[in-house]
């Protein structure tokens, strides 16, 4: 994805692709879409050996291959295909849906610049070129005699890229669905719209059931017994700091437990998938049975550079930092320890 985006020369854009994307069909197109002679050359490369000399550039671009088999699962997209129709005798391929064909050319007999012989007696298969016929089957070349509709296609990997400023059709749909988000600043106040910061920088509007102290009582204390208010505020700061350390430690233990469970679970799921694919190899594997609904990617967030591992390391560092910064020293206790020595807590507990 990074390579494709860089090669396109785009900036300030969003690029998306599904994990392990499935190949899909797309109409065969040359760089110069308005040059029909390029398509005529490619059509001749399947049967006429002398055409390789006349269309040398395209012959090198789509070299002949000895064996070509389509992937086991390909999504057929509707598109602006150039469809070639042939009637008469031969293997019936069926017609392609009208929504697939932008142009339909009858090649039962010679038609303009297209010769009917180009679509018969294919003896060469070309790399990256496939024929999609009315039975929705991909072939490296059309049968010797056939009737129905076929189109020349290529296979692509689904890849979407659009500008963040000009969403385009896909971006507009994502924006309407709420799945396309922009960075935004932290909201003022809190996540509760009832809480706000007043003109002097004091938070207001906290519901009574979530308050630790009563403002009215605290205000009277600060006027009459200010020393008591100061001591209470110190105790409340210690209480909050104490509970913050508990919260960090509990969160660290929870994330550690999740990581210890998810790692073996993901490994077990992957091993089971490999075993099932081996057992169902004759039927194309597990994903052949489920199609596009098959899960083929498990994020390895418990890896050394995964998000869970990084979060656990940061929580551990934060816990250690809070523990180092906690604790106070009493000058009076230090003075007594210097005179009489500090008690040996291990011996006291043993006694």
- 94 SS3 class: strand
Dist. CA 190–CA 79, nearest whole Å: 50
Per-residue pLDDT of 99-156, as tens digits, reads 888 888 898 888 878 888 888 888 888 888 999 988 888 888 888 888 899 999 988 8
Choose among 143, 161, 136, 140: nearest CA to 81.
136
Instruction: Tell me the domains of the chain and their CATH numbers.
Output: 1-13+164-181 (no CATH), 18-158 (no CATH), 188-224 (no CATH), 231-350 (1.10.287.210)
- 3 SS3 class: helix
Dist. CA 302–CA 124, nearest whole Å: 50
Angle at CA 98, nearest 5°, toward 97 and 102? 125
Beta-strand runs (E) in the chain:
13-16, 24-27, 64-65, 81-86, 91-94, 101-106, 125-126, 130-133, 138-139, 146-156, 160-163, 196-197, 203-204
Tokens at 297, concatenated:
């990617």
Choose among 142, 138, 134, 168: nearest CA to 153.
138
Other CB atoms within 10 Å distance of the CB of residue 265 = 12
Dist. CA 115–CA 150, nearest whole Å: 15
Does this model's pTM top 0.75?
Answer: no
pLDDT at 208: 73
Tokens at 153, concatenated:
């296609």
Under 8 Å CB-to-CB from 108, ≥6 apart: which residues?
85, 86, 87, 88, 116
Dist. CA 261–CA 268, nearest whole Å: 11
Angle at CA 12, nearest 5°, toward 7 and 14? 75
Task: For residue 34, count CB atoms less than 10 angstroms from its CB and return exposed for 0-12, middle for 13-18, buried for 19 or more.
Answer: exposed
Which residues, in sequence order, are bridge partners of residue 312?
Answer: none
Dist. CA 94–CA 89, nearest whole Å: 13
Rounded average pLDDT per 10-residue block, the chain, 351 residues = 68 72 80 62 78 74 82 79 87 86 87 83 86 88 87 82 57 51 43 69 73 70 74 80 84 86 85 86 78 72 81 84 69 57 46 41
Dist. CA 227–CA 223, nearest whole Å: 10
User: In degrees to the nearest 10, what's the CA dihedral of 74, 79, 80, 82?
Assistant: 30
Dist. CA 239–CA 325, nearest whole Å: 15
DSSP 85: E
pLDDT at 293: 67
Per-residue pLDDT of 152-163, as tens digits, reads 998 887 777 776
pLDDT at 188: 45
Do residues 171 and 14 touch, judged by C-beta distance below 8 A?
Answer: yes
Dist. CA 69–CA 296, nearest whole Å: 23
C-alpha 166, offset from chain centre: 21
């Amino acid at each position: 994805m990074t390579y494709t985006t860089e090669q396109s020369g785009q900036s300030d854009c969003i690029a998306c692709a599904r994990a392990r994307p499935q190949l899909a069909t797309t109409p065969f197109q040359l760089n110069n879409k308005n040059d029909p002679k390029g398509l005529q050359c490619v059509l001749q490369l399947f049967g006429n050996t002398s055409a390789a000399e006349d269309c040398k550039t395209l012959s090198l671009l789509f070299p002949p291959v000895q064996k070509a088999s389509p992937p086991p699962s390909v999504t057929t997209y509707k598109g602006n295909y150039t469809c070639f129709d042939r009637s008469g005798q031969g293997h019936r391929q069926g017609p392609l849906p009208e929504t697939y064909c932008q142009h339909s050319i009858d090649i039962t007999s010679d038609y303009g610049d297209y010769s009917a012989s180009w679509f018969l007696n294919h003896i060469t298969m070309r790399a990256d070129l496939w024929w999609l016929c009315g039975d929705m089957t991909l072939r490296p070349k059309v049968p010797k005699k056939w009737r129905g509709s076929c189109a020349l296609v290529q296979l692509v990997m689904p890849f979407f890229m659009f500008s963040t400023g000009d969403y385009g059709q896909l971006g507009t749909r994502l924006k309407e669905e709420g799945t396309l988000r922009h960075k935004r600043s932290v909201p003022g106040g809190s996540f509760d719209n009832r809480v706000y910061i007043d003109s002097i920088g004091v938070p207001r509007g906290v519901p009574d059931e979530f308050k630790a102290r009563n403002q009215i009582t605290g205000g009277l204390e600060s006027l009459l017994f200010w020393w008591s208010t100061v001591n209470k505020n110190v105790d409340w700061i210690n209480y909050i700091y104490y509970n913050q350390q508990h919260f960090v430690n509990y969160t660290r233990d929870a994330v550690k437990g999740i990581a210890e469970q998810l790692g073996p679970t993901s490994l077990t799921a992957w091993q089971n998938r490999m075993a099932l694919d081996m057992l169902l190899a004759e039927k194309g594997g597990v994903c052949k049975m489920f199609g596009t609904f098959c899960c083929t990617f498990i994020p390895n967030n418990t890896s050394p550079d995964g998000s869970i591992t990084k979060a656990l390391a940061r929580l551990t560092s934060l816990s250690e930092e809070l523990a180092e910064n906690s604790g106070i020293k009493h000058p009076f206790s230090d003075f007594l320890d210097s005179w009489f020595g500090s008690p040996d807590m291990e011996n006291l507990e043993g006694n």
